[in-house]
Structures are given as structure tokens and as C-alpha cells.
Amino acid sequence: MRYPLPTSKLRTGAALAITIAASLILASCSGKDRPKLAYEERPVELLYNTGYERLQRHRWADAVDYFQEVERQHPYSEWSRRAILMQIYAYYQSGKYAESIAASDRFVALFPGSPSAAYAFYMRATCNFEQIVDVGRDQGAAEAALAGLRDVARRYPGSSYATDAVIKIDMVNDQLAGKEMNIGRYYQRNNQPLAAIGRYNAVIDNEAFQRTSHTPEALYRLVEVYLGLGLKDEAVRNGSVLGFNYPGSPWYAEAYALLTEQGQTPEAAPTAKRESWLSRIIPG
């Protein structure tokens, strides 16, 4: 049985199937008000199918109530396994990410060998991914998302979950590199050049960050900072690395203009005998 993927909120272009397979006929339930469920022994099929019907109507809280009742009345059963997975999805769709993560953790703890554990791991990572905030704020959610997404890619290679996880990993790395750049620019503005250099080098030296959109700017900022410190050789070296790897980048155009104003000339393209370490990692 396959369970619904959160494509309505994905920030990637990955096209993942959204399928909720039901083996029984859906039961309907009348009334517009959310039901107050009291414990009452009732057929598990009725509970599950009513929750499923609420899920289809996007009545997420109602759906959770019924799926929780399935879990309470029939713990450790196949029905309970399915009900927890549906809770994960319903919580996610209603924006209750902490609850969705908790349900994912509960599923993994109760059914670690289930093929559906892949879904639980993926949804836990996706919930953290959805909570990533702008680079000016704490990136705890981004770091948690990165760890979870890498875990999914490692555990389930070749799956649709892993495919989407790899795309999201690149996006999270771009976010974290952006955080380093944001801090580096702050230090640079506040006349703390050594601290700024450390942050810019963190972007350049981290292999995952080297593939992000922030690397050209990091190299340009190093040119600025080193020129400000009077270290022209270091400025030229970073300008040359920028030219080797991003010859068409506007950041290289800025760096080239800045260096030539100082009487320095960075190399704009790699030669047969002289090539930067970064150009070997990231082709031009």
C-alpha cells in the first residue's frame, strides 16, 4: 500500500505520485461539525474508512481523530500501521509539523521493518524542510532537514523518496551556505575582516557548498577583504579562481574591475599548466 506524498507543499519540481490505496468501500459520515469521539467499540473498518473519507475532504483534524481511534482500539495491528501513516500525512497537510514528526517517530519505533518506514523517514525530513526560515534566523530546522534527507537517500537509494531527497539536499545546502555568507557580510561591514574571511572560506572549502549559487560571491568577497587588508597576492589568487570557474559571472566582472583598479590582473581562464584546485572540482 502506498501513502500520500506532500506534493502540495514541496518546494521542488520533482513529480512524485500521490496515491492513497483503500481496500474497502469508503464510508460517509453526515454533519458539518467536527465529531467528538468518545471511546466506543466499533468496527475497525468503519473507523478507518470514515477517517479516510475525512482525509479526502481535507478535514485533517477530523481524519486524525478517527485514525487515532483506530490506533487506540487496535494497537499493533495492520489497521493501526495504516492509521499512523495517515496521521503523518494529515498532520503535515494541516501544518502541524511537530505532530507529524512525532507520528513518524512512533511509526518507526513500532514498525521498523515495515516497507512503509521509508515514508515515515521521508515525511520526518520533509516536515523539517518545510520549517526552514530565512538565512537571517537560526538554521536548526535546515540542519535537521539535511540530516534526515541524507538518511533517506542513504537508506532507500533508487526510490522516489531518495530522488526528491537529493533535490532537497541541494536546496538545504544552498540555504546553509547563504547563512555563512550572511554572517560573513555582517563581519565585513563591521570591520572584522578575519572573521569574514573565515565565513567566506567555509563556503569555498565545503564540498557541498561549492555546488551552491553562493560560491562566486564568496570568492568575490575574499577579493574585497584581502584588498582591504593590503594582501594583493591573495586577492589576485581568489580573483583568478573566480575567473577560472565562473568566467561569465557578474561577480567575476566586479572582481576583475576591482583588481585592475589596484593595478592587478587576475587570470580569466585556466591554462594547460596552471589550474586552480577549485576548477578541478567545479568545471567552468
Are residues 269 and 212 both part of a single domain? Answer: yes
Question: Which spans in 94-192 are helix H?
Answer: 97-110, 117-130, 140-155, 160-189
What is the pLDDT at residue 144? 94
Q: Is residue 58 part of a domain?
A: yes
Are residues 56 and 122 both part of a single domain? Answer: yes
Are residues 183 and 89 both part of a single domain? Answer: no
Q: Which of 61, 175, 70, 74 is nearest to 129 (CA)?
A: 175
What is the pLDDT at residue 93? 96
pTM above 0.85, yes or no: no
Q: Is residue 11 part of a domain?
A: no
Q: Is residue 96 part of a domain?
A: yes
The maximal CA–CA distance of the chain, rounded, in angstroms, is 85
How many independent structural domains does the chain possess? 2
Range of the domain at 274: 175-281
Residue 183 belongs to domain with CATH number: 1.25.40.10
Are residues 114 and 54 both part of a single domain? Answer: yes
Are residues 180 and 241 both part of a single domain? Answer: yes
Q: Is residue 3 part of a domain?
A: no
Are residues 258 and 187 both part of a single domain? Answer: yes
What is the pLDDT at residue 36? 52
Q: Is residue 167 part of a domain?
A: no
Q: For 141-156, what is the mean pLDDT? A: 95
Q: Is residue 240 part of a domain?
A: yes
In a 13 Å sphere around the CA of 267, the CA atoms on its Cβ side amount to 15
Are residues 276 and 216 both part of a single domain? Answer: yes
Are residues 113 and 179 both part of a single domain? Answer: no
pLDDT at residue 188 above 80?
Answer: yes
| Boundary-marking domain end, from 131, 148, 163 | 131
Q: Is residue 10 part of a domain?
A: no
Are residues 215 and 125 both part of a single domain? Answer: no
3-state secondary structure of 37: coil
| Boundary-marking domain end, from 131, 150, 167 | 131
What is the pLDDT at residue 133? 79
Are residues 127 and 181 both part of a single domain? Answer: no
Are residues 126 and 201 both part of a single domain? Answer: no
- In this predicted model, what pLDDT tens digit does every residue of 114-128 receive, in sequence order? 999 999 999 999 999
